[in-house]
Structure 1
Amino acid sequence: MTYHSAHMNILIKSCLTLGLLFAVMGGHAQVVKKSESDNAKKGNTQLSVRAQSLYDTQGASDADIPWMRVIYRQIDLTKEKNLPLYYPEESTESQENLFRIIMKLLANNQIPAYEYLDGREIFTDEYRIKVREMFDRFHILYAEAKGYSEKNPRFTIEESDIPANEILSYYILEKWIFDRRTSQMKPSIEALCPVLHRTGDFGGEPVKYPMFWVKYNDIRPYIARQYILASNENNIAQYNYDDYFKMRMYDGEIYKTQNLRNQSLMQMYPNDSIRKQAQDSIERQLKNFNENLWVPTPEELAKAKEAQEAKEAKDNGDEVTAKEEDKEVKSTSRSARAKRQKEAKVKKQKQPKQQKAASAPVRSVRRTR
């Protein structure tokens, strides 16, 4: 009797445990189902956690960065290499240019944007722009979406009201970082700033209006899904915007480096030729930074020595050849001069003697008988 009662108690406890487990699982299923329904109501405008995690990269800490240089570039969209950022001007079923993507993300409150402070960019909530004020400032027509609060606004912009054709350049903020962990120089794009080129009512040269800064890591998950035509020779859209920037397929001119006076290269070097030399010097420094870090191996030294000797031999050979050619030219000129002198002498010898001119009759002084 005792054995059967103990067995019944065990069965009752097992049933109670299973019931509690099913109840918890059912509640969890209801929560998941509710969250899925909430996402469906939102229209899936936000990226999923998994999609965001694909682009979350852990950067190097300050302890891992002993050297860094901040570079500002101007991307001219009229240049051949930069055309993928401008075209297509109007959206198609499969393609959309960079500025339209950014504007739609801002209108849907999916990414933040920050004030353009002319060389002193601060990406904090204090300097975050209000999208409504930005639209008003640049005279972009919009309509407020219904069902959203003042703290979390949404806006609707017509395709024709987005001034994509007036965005003719971008400012790019780059950081060239030496990472101690990998002992490599790593250039990274920190932020983008679309620049509006707008002509006044009376014509004249267009005026540049830097609009705002957007952090590259904020827009990267979205632009990585948009494939582009990178060239006119290959019409397969095999690269996306993230590939385009990461592979540095753009052509950007350095217009500023971070400095104590916060001056641009235009202010530091007013002369065009001197400014171009400064830009080339900065490019060489960035390019040769990795090479100057390492002590070459004996094999590399021997190879470099052979290349130097070959170059010197070639230069010496060119000098010897030049001397021989000069000697040959001189010899040829002497021969030609001697030949001309000889011909002139022969011609003079063959020339007939001139007859003396007839003189007046000579009177004889001899007596005649």
Structure 2
Amino acid sequence: MKKFLLTAIAMFISASVFAQESSSSSVVRRRSADDRNASKTTSGVTQRMQSHYADSPVSDSELQWMRVMYRQLDLMKDENAALYYPDEPIDGQENLFRIILGRMANNELGGYEYLDGREMFTDNYKVNMRDVLDRFHILYTDAKGSTERNPRFVIEEADVPASEVLSYYIIERWEFDKRQNRMRTRIEAICPVLHRSGDFGGEAVKYPMFWVKYDELRPYLTTQNIFTNDDNNLASCTYDDFFQLGLYKGDIYKTRNLKNRSLMQLHPDPDELAHAQDSIQKRLDTFEDKLWVPSLEELTARREAAEKAELAAAGTEVAATGAEGESIDNATPAPTVRSARSKRGTKTTSTPKAKPAKVKKAKAPKASSSSAVRSVRNRRR
């Protein structure tokens, strides 16, 4: 009996210990400050924030149509000035290149080799940050705690060539999702381009540096507010809003094609190149309109617009004709055409000959009232 009681007590104690361990494993444990700081980067972007802004990939089975565009953003244009200014940090505000280079130097962001027309965003094509800094002659020092597996660098603000990055290359994906029935434009990657002149001056040479995937860069762009309008100095949007809303302006310099050629190679003539760029942009803007059957209101509006256009064209033509006729009248007066009948009875038109100027005859002096005047009208023949 005593052995049975001891066995029961031991089994009860072991069951309670197992239940306590299982309950402790299922309890949500509050993270300490060290754990929270470990997952938080220096730019204020947490892992949860990165997962929130990560764009889920869309498979080709969900797409009905897709086209890849390569654009060049000139930062000297007013529409793209928000990506360049301020070239020096002011009150914690940095331009786009300083954000990219700072995150890459701190090993928070990865870059990929610039391959002309053959972009590969895989681990085999990731750039070595030390080689990039040496290649473009950017001064740096190794950061404290930097290792071979986790290299980090410190770059002084004066050594960042932000003023030389005068343009960007971006890759756009124009996609039509057949499940959601919507058209969207998604930026795939961004490449900063250095503009450097030689020792003896001359025209600046463009040096594409590296590609950065926009999905990996996007969480850091949401933390920087910028203003895009000189009339409103309030920083009302972020860098991510700037790209997502399409506030930038860039020229298409290439489309993905079988020959892997740029538009300049396909159209050497400048006029043909400009025409091709406009044609491609027009097809992109009007692609979605061709997918839907217009409603009755849209058809009525189109017909009214066409009628107004025809009336306006007719009025312009009449005005031009009237102006031309008036100029002709002022130049040479048109002769009056009179009709006369020939001897055979047919009506002919002839231009009258110019009549000689009339000569005024001197009037004869009036006869005096005393002289007799004989009427010629009543005289018999």
TM-score (norm 1): 0.81
SS of 2:53's partner is coil
Q: 1:310 aligns with which of 293, 308, 311?
A: 308
Paired amino acid for 1:146? K
Cα distance in 1, alignment partners of residues 139 and 322 from structure 2 = 77
Is the 8 Å Cα contact of residues 172 and 188 (structure 2) preserved in structure 1?
Answer: yes
Matched, 1:174 2:172: yes
Paired amino acid for 1:194? P
Paired amino acid for 1:37? D
Cα deviation 1:118-167 (Å, max 9, x = unaligned)? 11101000000010111111111111112232011111111111110110
**Unaligned regions of 5+ residues in structure 1, if any?**
339-343, 353-369
How is 1:112-123 mapped onto 2 (pairs within 5 angstroms)?
Answer: 112-123=110-121
How is 1:54-69 mapped onto 2 (pairs within 5 angstroms)?
Answer: 54-69=52-67
Bigger fraction of residues in helix: 1
SS of 1:53's partner is helix
Paired amino acid for 1:40? N
Distance 1:128 1:93, change over 3 A: same
SS of 2:258's partner is coil
Distance 1:320 1:109, change over 3 A: same
Paired amino acid for 1:164? A
Count of matched residue positions in the alignment of Structure 1 and Structure 2: 335
**Unaligned regions of 5+ residues in structure 2, if any?**
337-354, 363-381
Cα deviation 1:46-78 (Å, max 9, x = unaligned)? 732332233123243211112111100011111
Cα distance in 1, alignment partners of residues 50 and 303 from structure 2 = 51
Q: CA deviation at 1:310?
A: 2.8
SS of 1:100's partner is helix
Paired amino acid for 1:156? V
Matched, 1:349 2:349: no
Cα distance in 2, alignment partners of residues 59 and 248 from structure 1 = 20
Paired amino acid for 1:211? M
Is the 8 Å Cα contact of residues 146 and 153 (structure 2) preserved in structure 1?
Answer: no
How is 1:39-54 mapped onto 2 (pairs within 5 angstroms)?
Answer: 39-40=36-37, 44-45=41-42, 47-54=45-52
Cα distance in 1, alignment partners of residues 327 and 64 from structure 2 = 61
Is the 8 Å Cα contact of residues 54 and 216 (structure 2) preserved in structure 1?
Answer: no
Partner of 2:34: 37
SS of 1:301's partner is helix
Root-mean-square deviation (CA), in Å? 3.2
Partner of 1:363: none
How is 1:79-228 mapped onto 2 (pairs within 5 angstroms)?
Answer: 79-228=77-226
SS of 1:250's partner is coil
Q: CA deviation at 1:42?
A: 7.8
Cα distance in 2, alignment partners of residues 166 and 115 from structure 1 = 20
Distance 1:299 1:265, change over 3 A: same
Cα distance in 2, alignment partners of residues 223 and 37 from structure 1 = 26
Cα distance in 2, alignment partners of residues 141 and 124 from structure 1 = 28
How is 1:292-331 mapped onto 2 (pairs within 5 angstroms)?
Answer: 292-327=290-325
Q: CA deviation at 1:22?
A: 11
Distance 1:291 1:41, change over 3 A: closer
Cα distance in 2, alignment partners of residues 300 and 160 from structure 1 = 57
